Amino acid sequence: MKKVIINGVSYVGDLKKNEDGTMTLSKAMSFEGTTMSRSDLSKYLKLKNLGELENLDFGGTGISWSISVLSENENMMLQIGEIAMKSAKGRAVKEVENDLFDFVLGK
């Protein structure tokens, strides 16, 4: 995963160079500033879970961009977030089932 600033807008996603010299940023999300906050990473993981991330193609003349890696802190927050999402996915269905059970049977 890389951070890419395209014409002044910050994005995070998976970066690939195309054969024609352009770039594709897949599974991407924009965010404010140049450093991702905990809420940015949380939003990213939620959008990823819903399949609502963007794919961006860029390059050529008139387009400015810069590429950077996630900081150590951003990487750590992302890893923790991925563990939390995995845990949430494992528990979510069971918790909804229990809530529905309580609703039908009554507490």
Domain boundaries, the chain: 2-105
Confidence of residue 60 (pLDDT cuts 50, 70, 90): confident
| Block residue for tokens 């395209």 | 6
Could you tell me the end-to-end alpha-carbon distance of the chain, in angstroms, rounded to an integer? 46
**Cα dihedral 81, 87, 88, 89 sign:** positive
Residue-averaged pLDDT of the chain:
92
Kindly calculate the radius of gyration of the chain based on its CA atoms and give it in whole angstroms. 18
Confidence of residue 61 (pLDDT cuts 50, 70, 90): confident
**Whole-prediction pTM value?**
0.82
Is the distance from CB of 60 to CB of 1 less than 8 angstroms? no
What is the pLDDT averaged over residues 3-26? 93
- In whole angstroms, give the CA distance from residue 71 to residue 35: 8
